Structure 1
Amino acid sequence: MSMLKFLFKKKKPSLEKEDGSPKTSGELIAEVTDGANLVDGKQTWEIAEDSKHDIEAMKRCCDAELKTMDKSGLVPAPYYFERVAILSRKAKNYKQEVFYCEQYIEKVEAFYSKVGSESVADVRKGPRYQAIVKRLPKARELYAKQCT
């Protein structure tokens, strides 16, 4: 099954705006997910650069990415989860860092268990996913030390 068929099996959007111009991929995703990928009325990628140091905004992006996965079958982007992990470590909130790393890894593994990796790009092979996996043991260690 192609990625587009999988993505649009729930709701097939129009590929063009009312004026006849093509919709962006973000507009299509927002339409298919009924806005699940929106944070404060913007798509997650629009928030990424301006709010990358705002942990609350990045956490809302994580939530939106997970909602998008549930509604449209798109794997959540690792960027927001990595940012939350980085910002959590800077704040010495190791419990939160562990939670977001574990949550992302768990959700991604569940996603690929369900849909496979033949018809979609496998984010597990990418550097951001690998960075999340790599930082988890250290985050657990720091959290354990903090609790003693």
Structure 2
Amino acid sequence: MDAIMPRSFRSGACMANLARIEFTSLKLVVVCASVGSITHAAPRCNMSTMCASRRLQILEERLGLVLFYRRKSGLELTAAGRVVAEHSLRILYLLDEMVLSAKEAPQPIGEVFENSGRASRGAKKVPSLGTSPAACSMENSLQMSVYT
């Protein structure tokens, strides 16, 4: 199972910063890279130019990278920015794919309940990943990334 987990999950490095990256910021990077301008990208991401600029700045700080050269003529991706934009596009695609696949999945029939893992009236059952060490490790990693 460790072989398929991202390096940062296995080593614990950068986990705090990665857990705080928002999908909206990744979308903003992709759109800015595409249109070459924060002014034109911001409305496409449903935010003001000031908010978009601040989001990019925060993302760059969290990653410890400069993603764009800011010029009067617009934005230009740095080498690191190109890598982040490519991965961001894949992440957003996978997120979309996840949602579509989950909507097509059959109804769950597990013994794990929402509401802090206790059975209660009217609680929805959710599927368990199982009790194998690999499944438990994956479940713990998922919980860690969601709650940190």
TM > 0.5 between the two?
A: no
More strand by share: 2
More helix by share: 1
* TM-score between the two structures when normalised by the length of structure 1: 0.29
Structure with max Cα Rg: 2
